[in-house]
Amino acid sequence: MTGIIGGSGLTRLKNLEIRNRRVIRTPFGETSGPLTFGQLGGQEVVFIARHGYGHTIPPHRVNYRANIWALHHVGVTHVVAVAAVGGISTAMQSGVICLPDQLIDYTHGRPSTFFEGRESMVVHIDFSEPYCGLVRARLLRAAETADVAVIDGGTYAATQGPRLETIAEIRRIERDGGDVVGMTGAPEAVLAREIGLCYAPLSLVVNPAAGKSTEPITMEAIDAVMHAGMHRVRKVLESAVPL
């Protein structure tokens, strides 16, 4: 079954015909909210709003383990993770939709593995390719079908937040090869791989990252781009399911 994790600007899916909501108890505590079960374009999907349905949970406080565990628990096998990001490389202008294919994790202090605790074995998963090729391919094809332009590939840099970055931090990330920057891509992707979910991100660029524009980064400007762009993101999702 297909799971959709909605990020900022996507706390609900307009065309989702909601059947029911379920609170899932997890060994890791509470999820960001109940899982929403329903149909998108006639296809069964499970949706969760990463920051809570009222957008109250900041990126460093999201219980990624609970969310991923819960999706897996209810039978989700394939996940698309929607996220608003800042654009770093020239191609990543505001409004662009990117399907990243690599990840750099700059976050810290977030519970980022299922493999810990006394009874758990030490496991080192292969994370060379952090995202599921199958879901990426489906999203690419869906974007083509829906006639929505997307950029295939790019490196997602996950920062700690909730503050935005300094100009020097963005310069460093750029030297490291980062194309877009967001605050939620890790450890979400890590946990998905650990538990065996086929997971890929769908990123909407909502602002030029720090130092990439002469304008200050304001929430108003971000909201405007997000509002306009999420319409195209929804179109891709509808055309992509079932993943």
Give the footprint of ligand HPA on residues 172-231 (CB under 6 A).
181-183, 206-207, 209
Distance CA 216, CA 125 (A): 40
Using CB atoms within 10 Å of the CB of residue 234, give its burial: 0 to 12 exposed, 13 to 18 middle, 19+ buried: buried
CB of 177 to ligand HPA, least distance (A): 16
CB of 222 to ligand HPA, least distance (A): 6
Give the footprint of ligand HPA on residues 131-160 (CB under 6 A).
159
For the chain, list the strands marked E by DSSP. Answer: 2-6, 16-22, 35-40, 43-49, 78-87, 97-99, 102-105, 151-152, 155-158, 180-182, 198-208
CB of 204 to ligand HPA, least distance (A): 9
Piece of the chain touching ligand HPA by CB under 6 A; list 23-31, 78-86, 90-98, 227-235: 78-86
Piece of the chain touching ligand HPA by CB under 6 A; list 18-26, 79-87, 127-135, 144-152: 79-87
Of residues 86 and 130, the one with the C-beta less far from ligand HPA = 86
| Under rule CB under 6 A, residue 84 binds ligand HPA | yes
- Residue of the chain from 1, 164, 221, 228 that contacts ligand HPA (CB under 6 A): 164
- Residue of the chain from 86, 178, 201, 229 that contacts ligand HPA (CB under 6 A): 86
Q: What are phi and psi of 99, to 5 degrees?
A: -110, 90
CB of 57 to ligand HPA, least distance (A): 15
Distance CA 97, CA 152 (A): 9
Of residues 145 and 218, the one with the C-beta less far from ligand HPA = 218
